[in-house]
Structure 1
Amino acid sequence: MGLSARRHARTSSRFLSRTLIANVWRLLGIILLVWGEFGVYFWSLSSCKWPTTAVQSTGKPTHILLLTDTQLEHPYAYREKVSWSDFLHRLTYELYLKRSWRVSMRMKPNTVFFLGDMLASGKDMSSDKEYKQYFEAFRQTFPLEPNVNAYYMPGNNDVGMGVTRPISRHIRKAFFQTFGPFNQQVIIHNHTFVLLDAPGLVDEDYTRAAQRIPYDKWSPLPGGPVEFVKTVYTDDTPLILLSHIPLWRKDADSCGPLREKGSIRKGVGHGYQNTLQKHTSDFLIESLQPSIIFSGDNRDYCEHIHKVVSGRVPEDVAVIPEITVKSFSPSKHILRPGFQLLSLADPDPTARFHQSIAHDLCLLPDQRFIHWRLYAGFAYSTMIVMILFNIRRRRRLSPHALLTPLSHHIPLTRIPSPYPSLVTAPWTSYAPLSPTSPRGSLPGTIRTPNAFSGPTFRSASRPGTPRTAAPLLSPIPYHHEEAEDESLYPPQYANIRPHMLEEETWSPEHLDHLGDSENGSLIMSPYLAPNGPQKRRPWSWTWTFAFRGRRRRMTIHAPSMSWSAFGDLMAFLGDGVSADVKFKQRGIIQSIMIDFLSVAWMFVATWTVMAWWSF
């Protein structure tokens, strides 16, 4: 193998060493984790801003955050005997809720409304103590600032739904002691909010329907939602209705372009109901006459328009929009969760409906994209890179690549010497002259085991000085570049290298012996030059100033990074000979798996630290 080819192979192996490749991919993995665990949340809400109201407000608008279906898992779910996949799913699920909430709180809302289903399995709690522990876990997951007001509404997963459940009353009591009242009327910025107990309304509606009594003749249950609706005081201020279960609509009605797929259809099952009944929806709209309705439970976003005749003339139709808020927690029904921003301005007394209300949708990142595309894609790309790297490494270390016979002859060119009288043997080998030199050897000559060394010179001795004591000069190398191969030096001459002569210095006494006795000329080898080429100094900037009566100077030098230092760094990151030996012993398959795991363990360890820090 030629010198240039070996240098190229050595440089390539440094830049494509196993250590360097593994460290680069570890760094990429850490950057990817920081983006997937934190950066993507801030990026998703970077364009989310509070909406502006249609009416010019004389004061500062009030900002309200609406979210539904947080669906927090039971705090003791991790103590059950579950599989690792289920454990990781629940862990990443809770991490998603915590990080989404922290990013959402950066919006600095004045009030937060939870539209039900705060707990994923609140209806299954067996005691008040367990329900309170569940509630404390919810408060730790969704902490609030002291200046932020929060209101909670019951959902079917919080208190259950169905009058035949024997534990229903016990759960409702626990909800009241932790989250607060079931039905509430709150006034914020001259707007009336009506928080409705939708699961309780469904239960009472089933009781009413079983007796076949219309709402106008129905005697409400004491403390029930129907009684609360009939006692709500309405005036000229806009009214906003909040219900966990959406109001009735036709199955064919569209939900607008912001919905991911499908529409809200009627459906009833064990512990749930997709929409309220038509008679119940008409009762709410006629009794409350809301300006806008916000609901939840469906997980996906939906915008529906309710048209109600507001006067005696059929053409006098009131348009009441209903916004079904997206789920705050990840769900199989949607790709991206979200929440709703609501801004309230001073209402206009001359306007009947929601000119003082503005709302907008904010989307959270897709959890499946982070896990199955971002992280899984990084794992696949890491495996592919390690496979290609080990295949290349195997080819580089194969016996056919190492055997490179010397098939060409290096010609020796005789270069005329400027001092022909001093040349004793132009192409003889040289060695240090000793008293025991064999007869026939020329005095003042040097022998070397290198057959490709250059011409030999002998300097003239000074008068009165024995020729055997004359100092000898190093030959000028006029040979091919591949003659520098260290393999051409026998072991007994391992301590003598041409590059060692470059560092040799000569004293003035030695320089005197190099002069020609006849013409005073001085013969020196380039290797013995006392003064080499001067190195160019790096760029620097100097500033002179006076401080406390004294002259000061400040100098800033540019950072210097030579190619040799960069090469030393690459050599430090190289694998070494022992790594190649281990690679041959392990085989390509085992080496691929070891290289992949060397990157994966750093990825997993970093993710574990980030998860621990988030909790």
Structure 2
Amino acid sequence: MMTNYDDYGVPVGAYREPESLTHQAFRVARAFVLYRLKPRIQQIRDGKWSWRRSISLGKIIIAVWFITLYWGERKVFNSSIDSCRWEAWEKWDSNANPHRLVFIADPQLVDPHTYPGRPWPLNTLTVKHTDLYLRRTYSRIQKVLYPDSVILLGDLFDGGREWSTPTTKSPEAQYRKYGDSFWLKEYDRFGRIFFGHWGDGGMLPRLGQPGRKIISSIPGNHDLGFGKGIQIGVRRRFNAYFDDGNRIDIIGNHTFVSIDSVSLSALGQENADSMKEIWEPTMEFLDGAKNQKQRFVQRTLREQQGLSPNLPYAHEMIEAHQLAKAALPHFSEQVTEFPTILLTHVPLYREPGTPCGPLREHWPPSQPPKGQTEPPEKDDRNAISVSGGYQYQNVLHREVTKDIAEKVGDIQYAFSGDDHDYCEVVHRAYPSGGGGIREITVKSISWAMGVRHPGVLLVSLWNPVDAHGNRLEKDSTEPTLQTHLCLLPDQLGTFIRYATLFGITIFSLVGRAALVASGRIITTQLNDNPLLPLTEHASSAENEKAGLSSQPQATFKDSISSNSSTSSERANLQVRSTNARTRSVSPVSGYGLPPAQGNYGNYTYPLVQHAGYYGPPDEDKKEMKVWGSVSTAKQKPKKKGFALFIQELRNSLFLVATIVFPWYFWLIWHG
């Protein structure tokens, strides 16, 4: 078979493209298995392996961090939401199919108004972590609880009232640089959390439910301001994107009446007549609330019977003189109203010191006096403070609360926000649906609002009715609504655990480095144990002892026979004479290749294909390293004392950080 050569005397096809990165990575992995993993497995088989040799302080710390981070970024969120499953606390009959609703209060997205003096990057990290917390909990609620409806009770933003509009400016000079563009960015941020993750658990309604609904139109004092501090331009902007705060919804055969209580509060302040533009829309809504409730119930009952929600218009001609007496079709038949539920951001008025109950976290109930088992009727420590300040008021005015109760009528339940902590009271001083108005102030969902355990309120609604709105249950006195406080993870406590473990990590690694530097712990320093074994060239004397010549006398047959030699023979490399280095100037003579010597049989490849290793000068040969047996080359002197302490501490910290931080960022990124 003839061999073709190119112009430089190189056989055509003798060389290939360099290996790909994938192939190189495979070879490194193969070397790791052969030289590291396989010997370790062999030690285990031979009984030479022990746990004491394999376990180190760094590995233990890494394992503890892995478990702690998974617990803090996954386990606590999963377990807290899983413990709130509807089946665990609902107490309806087995044939009930209740409407399931979640109340969310005061997310108050952290912005420049929240911590105005907090420096970068602490403020940025606070924004990122609070958003991450809201997104995780809300997404988990959608996936695990899958509520039919979600209602937010105001204070969607923290500084929304401060961001200027084309017609208004912030009353505080430090926030006037933030305008409509900044508010729109905050709105997009809010939407990516609460609207973007609305469908994480799915979009289809549960069996027997009309559909899924999210309501976020109730404004808070941080969204608009409070009373006379509200600017009309700010409110118009909020209503344009979130809808009017005054509305009526029929949910689960219950009538939900939402009011803009922060605007209505201007009615209870000085010079109320001059602020009529602020409170008048809510008051007009309340004036027609009873008729609106009746009409909404009638429309809902018609829909449940498969009829059109509105009455059809009469197809008849009306003479001009009859227009004054003509009227649109209206419902003449009276129906039984559904239980009325009031939704307001600001809690209703109560006497100072009215207790909030045992579920209040920040200020639990005071201990009753000796000899008494009932909690005290007045407990200032456990109560919502009846007070106010700049752009806020903890409860509505007494007169405003009374007007709301009278104009809405038959209120059985009320749900509010603003306070950030849980509070449950029964108002018996106002007109109600019987037994007083049971009001629950919902906890904030954000961990940055002063409560260690944020929360949401789960509400289960079950009120089966006939075509006229009458209850089908045998016992009409049974409640149609059940609630459950769902507590969320203590994020601040998680950070404290991280900080504690970080301190333990530093202390442990510093102690280990000190013991190594003092000689109490013997360890191999870095670079003493490479991934693959290294060797150096044998000296000329060693070659002569092995019966090898330093002259280039290798033949093709010798190279073939060397492939079948023993491992000890393969460890020795032949060295060509330095005289063979010289090349001629002209490529005509084959770039100075020496003439073929010896008998090579039918082998006709040029000698350049078998060029040996020329090697460095003799004085450098002792320090050369190639693949082979154990290395005996010169090594740098090992560090001692403080230098060894710094090296061990740096290396151990680097080892832990390079493994723990990627794990933490992966948990956050995929959270």
Q: Name the TM-score, length of structure 2 as normaliser.
A: 0.56
Q: CA deviation at 1:225?
A: 1.3
Please list, as runs of the form range in 1=range in 2, the aligned pairs for 1:174-323 lying within 5 A after superposition: 174-206=237-269, 224-233=281-290, 234=293, 236-260=337-361, 261=363, 262-287=382-407, 288-308=409-429, 318-323=435-440
Q: Give 5+ residue unaligned stretches, structure 2.
A: 1-47, 166-179, 205-211, 294-335, 364-381, 523-541, 543-633
Are residues 1:118 and 2:241 paired? Answer: no
Take 2:642 and 2:272, find their aligned partners in 1: how far apart are those partners?
80
Task: Select the residue among 157, 160, 174 that pairs with 2:225.
Answer: 160
Change (3 A) 1:115 1:164: closer
CA deviation digits over 1:519-561, x for unaligned, max 9? xxxxxxxxxxxxxxxxxxxxxxxxxxxxxxxxxxxxxxxxxxx
Three-state SS of the structure 1 residue aligned to 2:151 is strand
Change (3 A) 1:90 1:597: farther
Q: CA deviation at 1:90?
A: 2.1
Three-state SS of the structure 2 residue aligned to 1:25 is helix
Take 1:267 and 1:250, find their aligned partners in 2: how far apart are those partners?
11
Take 1:331 and 1:194, find their aligned partners in 2: how far apart are those partners?
29
CA deviation digits over 1:23-80, x for unaligned, max 9? 33223212221221121111122211227666648651100010110111349999x9
Change (3 A) 1:395 1:301: same
Q: CA deviation at 1:272?
A: 0.9
Q: CA deviation at 1:345?
A: 0.3
1:294 aligned partner, one-letter code: F
Contact (CA 8 Å) 1:68, 1:325: kept in 2 or not? yes
CA deviation digits over 1:108-152, x for unaligned, max 9? 000100000111221122244443332221110122124431111
CA deviation digits over 1:144-195, x for unaligned, max 9? 1244311111111112224355xx2111111111111111100012110011
Which deviates more, 299-308 or 285-294? Answer: 285-294
CA deviation digits over 1:299-357, x for unaligned, max 9? 0000111114769xxxx973221100000001353110000000110157477777110
Change (3 A) 1:579 1:25: farther
Contact (CA 8 Å) 2:426, 2:438: kept in 1 or not? yes
Are residues 1:592 and 2:654 paired? Answer: no
Contact (CA 8 Å) 1:237, 1:347: kept in 2 or not? no
Contact (CA 8 Å) 2:239, 2:245: kept in 1 or not? yes
Which deviates more, 68-77 or 138-147? Answer: 68-77
Residue 513 of structure 2: aligned partner: 390
Three-state SS of the structure 2 residue aligned to 1:291 is strand
1:342 aligned partner, one-letter code: V
1:357 aligned partner, one-letter code: L
Contact (CA 8 Å) 1:247, 1:276: kept in 2 or not? yes
Are residues 1:98 and 2:135 paired? Answer: yes
Contact (CA 8 Å) 1:307, 1:317: kept in 2 or not? no
Take 1:176 and 1:354, find their aligned partners in 2: how far apart are those partners?
38
Are residues 1:20 and 2:56 paired? Answer: yes
Take 1:335 and 1:86, find their aligned partners in 2: how far apart are those partners?
19
Are residues 1:144 and 2:198 paired? Answer: yes
RMSD: 3.7
Q: CA deviation at 1:89?
A: 2.1
Q: Name the TM-score, length of structure 1 as normaliser.
A: 0.60
1:291 aligned partner, one-letter code: Q
Residue 484 of structure 2: aligned partner: 360
Take 1:594 and 1:181, find their aligned partners in 2: how far apart are those partners?
61
Change (3 A) 1:228 1:367: same
1:68 aligned partner, one-letter code: A
1:359 aligned partner, one-letter code: T
Q: CA deviation at 1:259?
A: 0.3
> How many residue pairs are counted as aligned between the two chains?
415
Three-state SS of the structure 1 residue aligned to 2:383 is coil
Are residues 1:30 and 2:66 paired? Answer: yes
1:149 aligned partner, one-letter code: K
Q: CA deviation at 1:396?
A: 3.9
Take 1:196 and 1:248, find their aligned partners in 2: how far apart are those partners?
15
Three-state SS of the structure 1 residue aligned to 2:495 is helix
Three-state SS of the structure 2 residue aligned to 1:275 is coil
Three-state SS of the structure 1 residue aligned to 2:256 is strand
Which deviates more, 322-331 or 136-145? Answer: 136-145
Take 1:29 and 1:295, find their aligned partners in 2: how far apart are those partners?
40
Contact (CA 8 Å) 1:57, 1:345: kept in 2 or not? no
Take 1:15 and 1:175, find their aligned partners in 2: how far apart are those partners?
65
2:131 aligned partner, one-letter code: E
Residue 602 of structure 2: aligned partner: none
- CA radius of gyration, larger in: 1
Change (3 A) 1:590 1:184: same
Which deviates more, 219-228 or 600-609? Answer: 219-228
Contact (CA 8 Å) 1:238, 1:347: kept in 2 or not? no
Change (3 A) 1:322 1:133: same
Contact (CA 8 Å) 1:38, 1:99: kept in 2 or not? no
1:256 aligned partner, one-letter code: G
- Percent sequence identity is 28
Q: Give 5+ residue unaligned stretches, structure 1.
A: 1-10, 212-217, 400-491, 493-576
Take 1:138 and 1:596, find their aligned partners in 2: how far apart are those partners?
39
Higher relative contact order (CA 8 A, sep 6+): 1
Change (3 A) 1:264 1:144: same
Take 1:251 and 1:580, find their aligned partners in 2: how far apart are those partners?
78
